[in-house]
Structure 1
Amino acid sequence: MQILRSSFADSIAAMRLDRAQARIAETYDVKVGTETVALAIAVSRVLAEDVTAPISLPAADNSAIDGFALRFDDLRVDGPSILPLHGRTPAGPSPDAALPPGCAGRIFTGAVLPSGADTVVMQEDCAVIDGKLHIPQGIFRGANRRLAGEDLSHGKLALPAGRRLMPPDLALLAALGFDSIAVRKRLRVAIFSTGNEIATPPHPLRRGQVYDANRALLCGLLQRLQIDVVDGGILPDEAEATKAALRTAAGNADLVITSGGVSAGEEDHVRAAIESIGRLEFWRVAIKPGHPVTLGVMDGTPLLGLPGNPVAAMVTFWAIGRPLLDRLAGATSVPSLRLSVQCGFHHLKKSGLREYVRVQIKPDGIAYVYPKKGTGILTSLTEGDALLELTEELTSIRAGDFAPCIPLLSLYG
């Protein structure tokens, strides 16, 4: 029996992943305005403007420990020192009480150093005898002193525009005195699955059907990025219905994402719908899994078509979708963490193809291929540890070789 092939598919060379990412950067720009939100709800929002420090952190020299403040120049260099005690400086608001020369003063963690003091001796390292402080030899100038502005100086850049705010960023902003911050408005993204073979839980499955996992996957990924999700449901394998649904969604969203329906089969209608209404940026990227990923524009709204298999949908969402979402949201794309690991397996691949191999990393630090290799194997994402990244130039990897891997947790935003 002759296998029919798509002459159109054969005529289009797959685009390199780095070129597809560059095309996104060249073509798309921010689609949302700005708003001010309370710091308490700003996690994962995109900073709209550079933030410069309105104060220094810390604001003044202060003590890092409970101990005694003194002038370093009052210490002997040839043996222990004895200094009379003068004053007490607790943490918190207090008037500046200058430390007289030749004296030491009691001080507590976080307290501002009294004028004249430049060094703090830990209370465990000295002794108070008859109202005098006995200090051992060997203390260095500036010991246990936190310098004003050593964390961040007044007027310096604290956080750049485009940063997706993480909990430590919120802590820094709070320490600088902010209780609200200007961020980009949330993107609105419509998602669809496609295909007569999938059903929405908990409806009973008919023969030949499977439950739709991809909308749950995409919804979770988008929500972690503080994106408003419009669930469009499942599109049937019908060309006109697909076209109508995508066009309606494009008029009400900043981005439309589909899964399935982007290959060259007779029942794959997403790419054809894009071409009939808008324009195709690219179709087929030299990436495995996820080769048929599609990007286009419909009525001015970008439409990203992901493959139907969940693993391919996950990989292409991260490799193609995330850079696109960052551009639309005004966020600065941050490369995913890559760690070098030793491989415990042999693997062959095609030249010119960027391949991501799901691996488990054993306690000995060696990476092994997840035993079930299909791109529909969801447990490879729930039980796997990382994606081993094999670049276009490689054609093989052998046990003992080192390669970069991307922890799966870093793919989720």
Structure 2
Amino acid sequence: MIEKQASCEDDGEPLLLPVAEARQRLLTSLQPVCEAVELPLSEALYRVLAADIVSPVDVPPQANSAMDGYALQRTSIPASGERSLQVVGTAWAGQPFTGQVGEGQAVRIFTGGIMPVGCDTVVIQEHVRCRTAPTDGPGLIDIDSEVIAGKNVRQAGEDVACGQMVLPRGRQLHAADIGVLASLGIARVNVVRPLKVAFFSTGDELCALDEHVPGTPLAPGKLFDSNRYTMAALLRGLHVEVMDLGIVRDNESDTRDALLRASADADVVISSGGVSAGDADFVTRVFHEVGQVSFWKLAMRPGRPLAFGKVGQAAFFGLPGNPVAVMVTFLEFVQPALKHLAGMHDLDTPLLPARCLSTLRKSPGRVEYQRGIMRLDEQGELVVESTGKQGAGRLSSMSAANCLIVIASEMDGVQLGDRVQVQPFHGLLPG
């Protein structure tokens, strides 16, 4: 009988590292980048804050009207019935009324106008009877007892108070954050410098798109290099500086040169292919020779052969060669690692419960990430179904999917109607 070695086809393998332990080991071993740069706010989108942002002002700076109407003091509101008030002026947004308003008086006010001295209430124009046209200047209005004291007024500091911590260190700035900072008068921010990430594909069978003559067939045994384009797109979505080292051929010398050259310049080095135990898997061989290996084989599918450790001062990820395994291992390990290195705290995409509309095959012993299409059914319940065959080389299934179905290690398959957990690509895929 042939003595068989452990492989990715085995349901269980005692030496495989559990996914949760690998994630913990990964994040513990990486120290976030400390260097910061100062940027104009207009260039800070998607950058990570290097320090807390504390508001230097109140927003809004003064109490102002939330509606078009009339500003008055609450003592002018009748206890019952109606009351006539004298209109003594107008407060425009940017042009405040400078006088003082007493009981029995009102000021015509527009949205954003500063509340006049003595006023604490705005009654909207639709709830007022005008004795004269509002544009005719001073006149009389009638209000009734249904006016609510203090309504339709934005208080000073209601949105943001002076001295309040607005955005924490480690926050990746999005469009709303940029707007908040602009509203505080903050024109420049300190952000973590962008990570430098080098990447390459390995394999004598690979053909780069820029080396291929359109319309001509590939030589027998050749494949277009999709992994490098996938990795480049994923990295650009994370807003890092990318260093594309191209295709590294299957020999020890070229692999060693690529690893050492990349690790000398980059914070992180990523390869695809060559991390199994075959004779042509030179990445594994060279990494064990020149690097510090933290783990190599994980209890997951796809993605069992995933190498992680250090080469010099750079973190190194040796991803599998299968296209789907490249994407899954990138999303589950490389992406949170890059966020952690950039100082971000929000690393994970939440798992959502869904009812499965497909029967999924799986054996216990590994976490499986299957491609799925999730949607809300007619009752508003989140449901998910498989994209079909789940081979690690079926990259088109990732394009068809909008989520990963995450099946826990201890589960023995999924039956129709079972509850599963899904990771939506919205929020998981960078962008």
CA gap 1:199/1:243 in 2 versus in 1, 3 angstroms: same
1:330 to 330, 343, 349: 343
Residue segments in structure 1 that go unaligned for 5+ positions in a row: none
Match of 1:255 in 2: 268
After superposition, residues 119-198 of structure 1 pair within 5 angstroms as 119-130=121-132, 131-198=139-206
Distance in 1 (CA, whole Å) between partners of 2:149 and 2:355 is: 46
CA contact (8 A) 1:282 1:296 kept: yes
Q: What is the SS of the residue equivalent to 1:281?
A: strand
> How far does residue 352 in structure 1 lie from its aligned partner after superposition?
4.1
RMSD: 2.2
Match of 2:420 in 1: 403
Letter in 2 for 1:168: A
Distance in 2 (CA, whole Å) between partners of 1:303 and 1:2 is: 35
After superposition, residues 351-390 of structure 1 pair within 5 angstroms as 351-362=364-375, 364=377, 365-390=382-407
CA contact (8 A) 1:6 1:264 kept: no
Letter in 1 for 2:313: G
Q: What is the SS of the residue equivalent to 1:186?
A: coil
1:214 and 2:216 matched = no
Letter in 1 for 2:199: I
After superposition, residues 287-326 of structure 1 pair within 5 angstroms as 287-326=300-339
Identity rate of aligned residues, in percent? 35
After superposition, residues 96-111 of structure 1 pair within 5 angstroms as 96-111=98-113
Match of 2:252 in 1: 239
Deviations 1:210-265 (A, max 9, x none): 11111111111211222111111111111232112111111111110011111222
CA contact (8 A) 1:281 1:295 kept: yes
Deviations 1:136-178 (A, max 9, x none): 4423222211122222111111111111111111111111111
CA gap 1:114/1:302 in 2 versus in 1, 3 angstroms: same
Distance in 2 (CA, whole Å) between partners of 1:257 and 1:119 is: 61
Distance in 1 (CA, whole Å) between partners of 2:130 and 2:123 is: 12
Q: What is the SS of the residue equivalent to 1:293?
A: strand
CA gap 1:12/1:236 in 2 versus in 1, 3 angstroms: farther
The number of equivalent residue pairs is 412
> How far does residue 279 in structure 1 lie from its aligned partner after superposition?
1.1
> How far does residue 351 in structure 1 lie from its aligned partner after superposition?
3.1
TM-score in terms of structure 1 length? 0.93
Distance in 2 (CA, whole Å) between partners of 1:254 and 1:162 is: 18
CA gap 1:159/1:101 in 2 versus in 1, 3 angstroms: same
Distance in 2 (CA, whole Å) between partners of 1:207 and 1:299 is: 38
Deviations 1:340-360 (A, max 9, x none): 322112224333422222111
Letter in 2 for 1:56: D
Distance in 2 (CA, whole Å) between partners of 1:299 and 1:108 is: 64
Q: What is the SS of the residue equivalent to 1:170?
A: helix
Letter in 2 for 1:230: M
Distance in 2 (CA, whole Å) between partners of 1:197 and 1:31 is: 37
1:392 and 2:409 matched = yes
Distance in 2 (CA, whole Å) between partners of 1:329 and 1:301 is: 14
CA contact (8 A) 1:53 1:158 kept: yes
Moved more, 359-368 or 264-273: 359-368
Residue segments in structure 2 that go unaligned for 5+ positions in a row: 133-138, 213-217
Q: What is the SS of the residue equivalent to 1:251?
A: helix
CA contact (8 A) 2:97 2:116 kept: no
CA gap 1:373/1:93 in 2 versus in 1, 3 angstroms: same
CA gap 1:270/1:32 in 2 versus in 1, 3 angstroms: farther
CA contact (8 A) 1:82 1:132 kept: yes
Deviations 1:81-110 (A, max 9, x none): 332212110001536433222222111111
CA contact (8 A) 1:279 1:298 kept: yes
CA gap 1:151/1:190 in 2 versus in 1, 3 angstroms: same
CA gap 1:390/1:148 in 2 versus in 1, 3 angstroms: farther
Deviations 1:327-377 (A, max 9, x none): 322222332143332211222433342222211135625311002422222
TM-score in terms of structure 2 length? 0.89
CA gap 1:93/1:334 in 2 versus in 1, 3 angstroms: farther
Distance in 2 (CA, whole Å) between partners of 1:123 and 1:338 is: 48
Match of 1:19 in 2: 21
Letter in 2 for 1:175: S
